[in-house]
Amino acid sequence: MGGAVEQREPIVQSLKTASFYERNRKYLSRGLWHLLAIILVVLVLLPIYWMIAVSLKEPATVSRYPVEFWPAKPLWANYLEVWRRANVPRYMFNSVYLSTVYTILCVWFSALAGYGFSRFRVGIKKPLFTIVMATMIMPPMIFTIPHFLMFYKLKLLNSYWPWVFYGLAGSSFHIFLFRQFFSSIPLELEDAAALDGCSPFGTFLRIIVPNSQTAFAAGAIFAFQWTWSDYLLPRLFLQEAKFTMSVALSIGLHPPFRPDYAKDFPVELAGAVYYVLPLALIFFLAQKFIIKGVITTGLKG
């Protein structure tokens, strides 16, 4: 009898354990997902934290062992040094101006093209859309030299006119983004506007645009980020007075044949903080538009 009781106890204990996991499975699963999310956030933010920490160090303490995760005496003069060498206000204005002009033009004309692809029925719509999508898989580098020669012949180098033409031409990614988003808007809204005598362009302005704020916000953020982060085209098309932040920081912090190049590492990272901070602020303020705008593009093909 005592042996039967002893054999029953492990079975009862295992049943209790299984019952505990069954009752709390939802909370345990949620806790594991939260733990995974926290680990991923730490992995993403750690390089940013390290960039800021090193930007406040003296050159002699960068490679010190044991590692100093935060400087005992933050050296804020590194940021003033970047301000002096790279003329941050001037080139920050150039970057904001160029990125804003391109963003407005690119988003607007891409939205018009996307509306045409999503609503108008013409025989060549599918071949044209296929061509537009094909340009998405082409490396942008293959267009760089032809564009440079074209703008050189037109005498448009050292001006922002190339970005104006890029914006007027739209972006294949943005056209796809808007086309997919507009396809998810019910046709009944446009039919009602047409019955009231609204033209196709009036329907676009009064019906499509107010109901597509998420797509417009996401498209604007992507266009602004692309222009802000671009180094190659400003370096090729512009001269010093019109440089953007990406080029100015590279040249201003690294004059030719500087003997103390290796000693400027904290100053370089201080410049990187200047460069990244506007994009980080834009992302944290508008991340819901980015996520919602990208997700909703797949609602309807």
Structure confidence by residue, pLDDT tens digits, 106-160? 999 999 999 988 888 777 878 888 888 888 888 888 888 999 999 999 999 999 9
Which tens digits make up the pLDDT trace of 16-63? Answer: 555 555 656 666 777 788 888 899 988 988 888 888 888 888 877 777
State the pLDDT at residue 180. Answer: 87
**Cα–Cα distance between 239 and 214 in angstroms, integer?**
36
Band of residue 2 on the pLDDT scale cut at 50, 70, 90: very low
CATH class of 77-298: mainly alpha
The angle subtended at Cα 78 by Cα 75 and Cα 82, nearest 5°, is 165
How many CB atoms are located within 10 Å of the residue 274 CB?
18
Which tens digits make up the pLDDT trace of 159-216? Answer: 999 999 999 998 999 999 899 888 888 888 888 888 888 888 888 888 888 888 888 9
Q: With beta carbons less than 8 A apart as the criterion, state whether 182 and 114 touch.
A: yes
**Cα–Cα distance between 205 and 228 in angstroms, integer?**
28
Band of residue 87 on the pLDDT scale cut at 50, 70, 90: confident
**Cα–Cα distance between 245 and 238 in angstroms, integer?**
12
Q: Is the pLDDT at 300 greater than 50, yes or no?
A: no
Q: What is the dihedral of CA 251, 252, 254, 259, to 10 degrees?
A: 140
Neighbouring residues of 240: CB distance < 8 A, sequence distance ≥ 6: 251
All structural domains of the chain with their residue ranges: 2-55, 77-298
DSSP letter for each residue of 165-212? HHHHH--HHHHHHHHHHHHTS-HHHHHHHHHTT--HHHHIIIIITGGG
Residues in the chain: 301
Q: With beta carbons less than 8 A apart as the criterion, state whether 290 and 218 touch.
A: yes
At 253, which amino acid appears?
Answer: L
- pTM, two decimals, is 0.79
Q: With beta carbons less than 8 A apart as the criterion, state whether 114 and 128 touch.
A: no
At 123, which amino acid appears?
Answer: G
Query: Token digits for 215?
Result: 């797509």
**Cα–Cα distance between 223 and 234 in angstroms, integer?**
15
For CA atoms 102, 104, 105, 109, give the dihedral sign: positive
Q: With beta carbons less than 8 A apart as the criterion, state whether 227 and 102 touch.
A: yes
For CA atoms 89, 94, 95, 99, give the dihedral sign: positive
Q: Is the pLDDT at 259 greater than 50, yes or no?
A: no
